[in-house]
Amino acid sequence: MSSKNRQIALGAVALVVLVAAVIVTVARTSGGGGPSDTFTVDGICLACKQPVTAKYHCSERLPAVCPLCGERAVYGTYYCFDCGRRFVPHLVPASDGGPPVMPMIPTCSACGGHNVVGYLPEDPDQRGAEWAPLPEWPPGGRR
Ligand SMILES: [Zn+2]
Ligand SMILES: [Zn+2]
């Protein structure tokens, strides 16, 4: 097998691991005591730039409403193993004209690496991670 094929195979494995990690995070955060139809996100509010824990209903999607400033601007965060920073991935425009949404496949906004996982506050390395520059808020074009 050529080394190129091996790289493709490795990429596929990384993607599966990433998807599994996201599913595990969602399953775990939805379990803790609250109503089961509510998700909790350990994210950051792009409007007031504060790391916050926000709840949102399972029929909704991110961004969630910020408990501090009331803006719908709380996004989930990821950790990049390549540069060791915590980041919000480049957001993609929403099809319904609402706030931009999280991309399906996040890449590091600082180094462009694919070696990322959903942020886990239990991990001391991730908790102490430096922040990569955050996406603009309000999103481009809105004044
Ligand atoms: Zn806020
Ligand atoms: Zn990175």
Q: Is the pLDDT of residue 78 over 60?
A: yes
Q: Is the pLDDT of residue 77 over 60?
A: yes
| Nearest ligand to residue 51 Cα | 1
132 CA distance to ligand 2 middle (Å): 8
127 CA distance to ligand 2 middle (Å): 15
Please provide the distance, in angstroms rounded to a whole number, between the alpha carbons at the two ends of the chain. 54
Among 52, 74, 78, CA closest to 63: 74
Question: How far from the centroid of its chain's Cα atoms is residue 96's Cα?
Answer: 20
* Confidence at residue 31, expressed as pLDDT on a 0 to 100 scale: 46
Region 83-106: what's the mean pLDDT?
94
Concatenated DSSP letters of 12-63: HHHHHHHHHHHHHHHHHHTTSSS-TTEEEEEEEETTT--EEEEEEETTS-SS
Region 38-59: what's the mean pLDDT?
95
Q: How far apart are CA 139 and CA 28, in angstroms?
A: 30
Q: Is the pLDDT of residue 19 over 80?
A: no
How confident is the model over 99-111, as pLDDT tens digits?
999 999 999 999 9
DSSP label at residue 76: E
| Nearest ligand to residue 54 Cα | 1
* Confidence at residue 36, expressed as pLDDT on a 0 to 100 scale: 77
